Amino acid sequence: MADKYVKLEVGVQEEVIATVQSTGVPEAGDIIALDPTGFIHPSLLPPGAGPDLTLLPTSEDLSAGDLVNIYNDVGIATARKADGTVVGKEAIGYVLEASTSGNNASVHLDGLNTQLSGLTPGNTYYLSDTAGAVTDTPLATPGNFSQRVGKALGTSSLAFEKHSGTILA
């Protein structure tokens, strides 16, 4: 249930829902509330005070934990699933929350991706040939894009590190 407060506007009281996640200027002056995990959402923090992330529209549905690529969609930076089988779809970041196509997603550009599963702690991980996913085996098929993306700190957490990668011959 969203936290609410009462606002006095021109002598009239109005119940308002507190802001849990910000898209920028439209939420200027809002009172904020903690998210369902009991923390302030990173989008509510000033630049440099929290994780390195950006809010971007998506061109496809994204699941929590997906690695994402950022591309130019008619002059607008847009997020989509990263894919090791497509040159130009390298991993630039990841999302911690699911998002549907056409909506905004908080894209983390570094940090800890805690929305994965089945990882082996200590193993190095690479961009997979399954869009948005990771693998502990570097891709080897000619024409694929081999990119190291981080090291597992636990079974569900990856310390994301963007690397340039290699187009395989």
**DSSP codes, 68-121:** EEEEEETTEEEEEE--TTSTT----EEESS-B-TTSEEEEESSEEE-S--S--T
Q: Are residues 75 and 5 in the same domain?
A: no
Q: Which residues contact 76 (CB under 8 A, 6 or more apart)?
A: 57
Same-domain status, 30 and 93: no
Considering the domain architecture, whether residues 59 and 43 belong to the same structural domain is answered as no
Domain that holds residue 142: 51-169
Q: In the predicted model, what is the mean pLDDT of the chain?
A: 92
Same domain flag for 148 and 165: yes
Looking at the fold, whether 55 and 34 belong to one and the same domain comes out as: no
CA distance 61 to 53: 19
Residues 22 and 71 placed together within one structural domain of the fold: no
> Could you read off the pLDDT of 72-125 as tens digits, one per residue?
999 999 999 999 999 999 999 999 999 999 999 999 999 999 999 999 999 999
Residues 110 and 78 in one domain: yes
Whether residue 73 is found in the same domain as residue 147 = yes
| Same structural domain, 126 and 78 | yes
Please answer whether residues 16 and 5 qualify as being in contact, where contact means their C-beta atoms are separated by less than 8 angstroms. yes
Give yes or no for residue 128 having a pLDDT over 90.
Answer: yes
**Count of domains forming the chain:** 2
Beta-bridge partners for 80: 69
- Using 50, 70 and 90 to split pLDDT, how confident is the model at 52? confident
Q: Does one domain contain both 27 and 61?
A: no
Same domain? For 55 and 69 the reply is yes
Q: Same structural domain for residues 117 and 93? A: yes
